[in-house]
Amino acid sequence: MGAVCTQLSIIERWRHAKVPVDEMARVLEGNYFCDESMPKHDGFPDANKCRGSGIAHHRSQYGSTETFLCLWQSNTRSVYTSIDMTTAQNFNMSPHSHVLPPLAQGMAQLLEGITQGATILARQSDPSLVLKEPSPQQWLMCETSGSSGAAKTIRRSPASWQASFAITATRFGIGANDTYATFGTLGHSLTLYAALEALHLGADYIGLAGQSPKRQIEALTTSRATVIYATPSQLALLVRGANGVNLPDPRAIFSGGGKLSDTLRSLLIQIFPTAKIYEFFGASETSFITITDDQTPNGSVGRPYPNVTLRIGDGLTPNQTGEVWVQSPYLFDGYATGNSTDTSWDGPFLSIGEMGYLDESGHLFLRGRLSRMVTVADKNVFPEEIETLISQVDGITQCAAIPLPDPLRGHRIVCVIQSSQPINEAALRQLCHAKLGPASVPKTFHRLTEIPMLAAGKPDLQALRKMLGDLT
């Protein structure tokens, strides 16, 4: 966690960097917090409490730096630990990191891009990475296609991801003693983020895309992976491969790209008994928006991720639905190619077209994308709410709610379900009626053994609409 310093040496170094005295006082004396879950310092084994001052940002003739200051306390002494959180213009790889076999497709290009400072292009349609000529400003380009939109390329700076790397280190205590594991290709932004974070923090990394769930479980055991980044679909496959085996090494599972069902969460707890499960909500344009914890109520995607500010509409009160606006250091720079009508800026705030509300405790509840909202019998209906609800039912692994024109009601909802067993349509209609209201009850259901999916792990809505058209 950095070099152990005395309080005097820290102050002297800050004076050398010409940090204002009032800023030193603010950092050293203000905004302290206690966190029993913070890792114990290697050279201070009897430490029982850590108080962190937060991030101090300062500029000097030597450049811009950030330092996270922790005060380690025990019954015998107190020691300050300084953690350098400087964000660089380019991605970097810690000398402590190792890429474990098998070498993921695209990893050689990624390591070369980090070394050269080249702009990196990741495409969901191709697991290999494309490197651009090195330039003074390195960029990360992520090509993505929404479930109902055309392909577009997200452009973001390394600093926009490095800012959350620092949160992972300080908030979750993850670093050089850990081993990351992922199950998607490097063309998928979640996998690419995890790989870059591992290399930045000095952790080891193993990519397990394309392997059977059984072999993935074997690799997790052999590598003693401690940190997992995965989508719910990838975790569901992993559970099948576990076959009742318990893996004690993983201590943190970060899940994004969809909601974990209660059944899947319970199975993960059984298989990974020592792991904490964190679900985060975000998008390619925003990166992290919210993250769950033990206090997150059912149906919520959590509270704002550290350093994220949320605004609903123009400042609506709790429990009022409006457009979700996000301000954070993790936002993208813009689109390199393509565009999205869902995306708009309001000063420093970005909207990706999500509708939702905050409760009195600051938990975010999503309704769905404004662009997918339809009217059924003069009532606003969000297909995502139907999909999330039905996907929680045992035996249903995917669900897509497709609105189709209806001359009497405006729209009717057709529900396509992925399941290997027959479905109880009456029970599903009753569930939707009770939880979402009569307008959100699907008119018809179609069961498939496999729903067409995008590379991002989401149902291909365009393909499903065409399929439904062919059926009618």
Give every CB contact of residue 42 below 8 A, 6+ residues apart in sequence: 1
Rounded CA-CA distance 173/41 in Å is 11
Q: So what's the pLDDT on residue 149?
A: 58
Tokens of 63: 């450049």
* Position 31 in a domain: yes
Residues 205 and 274 in one domain: yes
**Counted domains in the chain:** 3
Rounded CA-CA distance 164/139 in Å is 17
3-state secondary structure of 141: strand
**CATH number, domain containing residue 287:** 3.40.50.12780
Q: So what's the pLDDT on residue 468?
A: 85
Helix axes 425-436, 383-391, angle to 10 degrees: 120
- Return the closest-CA partner of residue 312 out of 299, 297, 322, 302: 322
Residues 134 and 206 in one domain: yes
Q: So what's the pLDDT on residue 364?
A: 97
One digit per residue, the tens of pLDDT, for the chain of length 472 reads 333 333 333 444 344 334 444 444 444 443 333 333 334 333 333 333 333 334 333 333 323 344 444 343 333 333 333 334 445 689 999 999 999 999 999 999 999 999 999 999 998 878 888 888 777 889 999 988 655 456 789 999 999 999 999 999 999 999 999 999 999 999 999 999 999 999 999 999 999 999 999 999 999 999 999 999 999 989 999 999 998 899 999 999 999 988 898 889 999 999 999 999 999 999 999 999 999 998 999 999 999 999 999 999 999 999 999 999 999 999 999 999 988 889 999 999 999 999 999 999 999 999 999 999 999 998 999 999 999 999 989 889 899 999 999 998 999 999 999 998 999 999 999 999 999 999 999 999 999 999 998 876 788 898 999 888 766 5
Residues 111 and 77 in one domain: no
* 402 in Cβ contact with 468 (< 8 Å): yes
Give every CB contact of residue 56 below 8 A, 6+ residues apart in sequence: 14, 19, 23, 27, 66, 67, 68, 69
Give every CB contact of residue 348 below 8 A, 6+ residues apart in sequence: 327
* 110 in Cβ contact with 104 (< 8 Å): no
Residues 73 and 128 in one domain: no
Residues 391 and 454 in one domain: yes
* Position 99 in a domain: no
* Position 330 in a domain: no
Rounded CA-CA distance 153/336 in Å is 5
Residues 51 and 183 in one domain: no
* Boundary of a domain, candidates 297, 312, 345: 297
* Position 274 in a domain: yes
Rounded CA-CA distance 99/407 in Å is 58
Return the bridge partners of 65, or none. 58
Query: What domain range is 261 assigned to?
Result: 107-297
Q: So what's the pLDDT on residue 244?
A: 83
* Position 312 in a domain: no
Residues 240 and 140 in one domain: yes
Residues 397 and 434 in one domain: yes
Residues 122 and 263 in one domain: yes
Instruction: Determine how β-strand 120-123 pairs with β-strand 78-84.
Output: unpaired
Q: So what's the pLDDT on residue 79?
A: 35
Angle, alpha carbons 210-452-419 (nearest 5°): 90
Helices (H), 64-188: 107-116, 158-172
Residues 418 and 458 in one domain: yes
* Boundary of a domain, candidates 263, 278, 297: 297
Residues 35 and 147 in one domain: no
Maximum distance among all Cα pairs of the chain, rounded to whole angstroms: 77
Count of CB atoms situated within 10 Å of the CB of 211 = 15
Rounded CA-CA distance 179/320 in Å is 42
- Return the closest-CA partner of residue 146 out of 468, 464, 467, 461: 461
Residues 268 and 408 in one domain: no
The pTM (predicted TM-score) of the whole model is: 0.76
Tokens of 191: 């996998």
**CATH number, domain containing residue 452:** 3.30.300.30
Rounded CA-CA distance 389/368 in Å is 12
* Position 363 in a domain: no
* Boundary of a domain, candidates 274, 297, 320: 297
* 337 in Cβ contact with 152 (< 8 Å): yes
Rounded CA-CA distance 84/470 in Å is 59
- Residue found under tokens 């310092």: 41
Give every CB contact of residue 72 below 8 A, 6+ residues apart in sequence: 40, 41, 44, 47, 49, 50, 78, 79, 80, 81
Return the bridge partners of 57, or none. 66
- Residue found under tokens 């020691």: 79
Count of CB atoms situated within 10 Å of the CB of 327 = 18
Q: Which amino acid is at 112?
A: E
* Position 96 in a domain: no
Q: So what's the pLDDT on residue 145?
A: 64
* Position 89 in a domain: no
